[in-house]
Amino acid sequence: MFNGKALDNKVAIVTGAGQGIGAAVARAYAAQGAKVAVVDWNLETAEQVAQSIRAAGGQAVALKCDVSDRAGVDAMVAATVAKFGPVDVLVNNAGITRTAMLHKMTPHQWDQVLAVHLSGSFNCLQAVVGSMMERQRGWIINTISTAGILGTIGQINYGSAKAGLIGFTKSAARELARYNIIVNCVAPG
């Protein structure tokens, strides 16, 4: 604990933070003293969340980013570091759905979902992990779903992406443990 708040002066990036779970995580981290980059493809909703954090006395910046675009991710991380300093916590929460029964799903629907969930998580992790390794500390949290464990009807792309994130998390955890970087996943619901 740092002055009564577990995340005082830690820098956190939360993707998909313009609404829902991501917004709740961003607000909770700020309430615990973190400086939060509220990241979403929709800058307007990200700014609303960041403004609510600032209104409550926290520190937050809203950043627009499509996590499937590596150059955009690198720019988002650079903007976060310029504003707050090195990243301590990454929450890979960005996600989309493109629902269709498997026999009707288009390759584009498949690719879009995997690009955001899997490639986006990889892009964000790779963009922050070098600094974490140098500093010998960091926390990575990947949002998964019971769909990745149990499967789901009409969302083979989503279930596959979330199952992939489980393997992604386990591999990253094993590789990064020697640097005191903790990697976990959470399946809300």
- Residues classed as catalytic: 158
Q: How far apart are CA 169 and CA 113, in angstroms?
A: 18
Phi then psi dihedrals of residue 182, to 5 deg: -95, 125
Contact predicate 88/180, CB 8 Å: no
- DSSP classification of residue 100: B
Q: How far apart are CA 163 and CA 149, in angstroms?
A: 6
CA–centroid distance for 174 within its chain: 19
Residue appearing with tokens 């979403």: 40
Contact predicate 37/110, CB 8 Å: no
